[in-house]
Structure 1
Amino acid sequence: MTTALSLVLQERPDGTRLLAASGEIDISNAADLAKALEGALAGDTDGITLDLTAVEYLDSAGIAVLFDHADHLELVATPLLIPVLRVSGLGDLTTIHEGGA
């Protein structure tokens, strides 16, 4: 059974924005992630942090969305997800931080 994607946009006390994703990111909802990122980035030249520490599954459709927005993203991911992001080449385009368990 799949876990629905949840996306929550937060503003940190320092004014930076964080989009927290949880659940599964796949072809069925990658467009939702893209729309959330586009909305969060609208008019913002500083970019956004995308927290993937609660993401249980990420397929190639989700990775493609991350590539589309890589120049405006910082990623936070679990130690299990970081190698996938780096092997995909995202580590060459954006900063990836370790977070979560």
Structure 2
Amino acid sequence: MLLVGIYTAISPWVIHFARTNPYLTANNLIMGLGVALLAIETPLAPQRMHRFAWTLVPLSLWLILSPAVVTASHGVSPGILWSNTGAGGAVCLLGVIAAKLAHDASG
């Protein structure tokens, strides 16, 4: 999950849309750093983080929908859609797994 968060944060520069879509760039940077932070914190304190890990599911849905919402007037390239959809799907799947593992570890 940490790698997906890092990829999401740097994806505007990997896919080369940082200059053309500044709002989506900021969105992906903030979302990626948030996912990476949750990925770091969840295994460190599973007793306190098992409920917080479930927030990754709505974050993943926003990651999938954000290219259409944030850049509605500019249009979205297929690369941006594939990148955010793939990262959002991975965050959703890994978030459910992390929440389950954190819940099992908490007790």
TM-score range, shorter chain: 0.3 to 0.5
- Per the normalisation by structure 1, the TM-score is 0.33
Q: Which structure ranks higher in relative contact order (CA pairs < 8 Å, sequence separation ≥ 6)?
A: 2
Larger relative strand fraction: 1
Looking at CA atoms only, which structure, 1 or 2, has the larger radius of gyration?
A: 2
- Per the normalisation by structure 2, the TM-score is 0.31
